[in-house]
Amino acid sequence: MTAEMTPRVVLVGPMGAGKTTVAGLLGDAWGLPVRDTDADIEAASGREISDIFVESGEEHFRDLEAAAVATAIAEHDGVLALGGGAVLRPETRDLLAGVPVVFLRVGLSDAVKRVGLGVGRPLLLGNVRARIKALLDERTPVYESVAAHVVDTDGRTPDEVAAEIQELLR
């Protein structure tokens, strides 16, 4: 066993970018386990993320998320998908240094179509389009700062996105 495990790839990006879907395709293609930190948080807390936001607040959720990401990066050597806001914490960005990170970039129009009305997405309460635009504007520079590669997802199938990532990481 190696002294240090690191994920084969970490996918970052906003909601609607396809991180969970593409992670599954990459895991299948490479024969590797797939892990999603949002699912880890829900499993550990026994609550859905939307309930954590409502009952405990965003700051508490971000604490849980930072811990889940740190654990996953330390323990997981497969494909890892991070929640859309995970990279907001400086300690998470530090952990991503030296790890193969791919930013799945999505434009406003495609993100809105994919997310729909934002049911179960607590950050999208109110005007969904305006909230997604604000999140994209705020977070895109952060995603770019941690990513070794940027893959555009607009107008592309998850299979096409996964194929590009496989080629980039060959």
Q: From CA 90, how far away is CA 77, in angstroms rounded?
A: 22
Would you say 82 and 10 are in contact if contact means Cβ atoms under 8 Å apart?
A: yes
pLDDT per residue over 82-129, tens digit each?
A: 999 999 999 999 999 989 999 999 988 788 776 765 455 555 556 677
Would you say 87 and 143 are in contact if contact means Cβ atoms under 8 Å apart?
A: yes
Length of the chain: 170
Q: From CA 156, how far away is CA 136, in angstroms rounded?
A: 19
The residue among 131 and 22 whose pLDDT is bigger is 22
Euclidean distance between the first and the last CA atom of the chain, given in angstroms as a whole number: 23
Q: From CA 121, how far away is CA 107, in angstroms rounded?
A: 18
pLDDT per residue over 26-65, tens digit each?
A: 999 999 999 999 999 999 999 998 889 889 998 999 999 9
pTM, two decimals, is 0.89
Which residues are bridge partners to 105 per DSSP?
A: 152
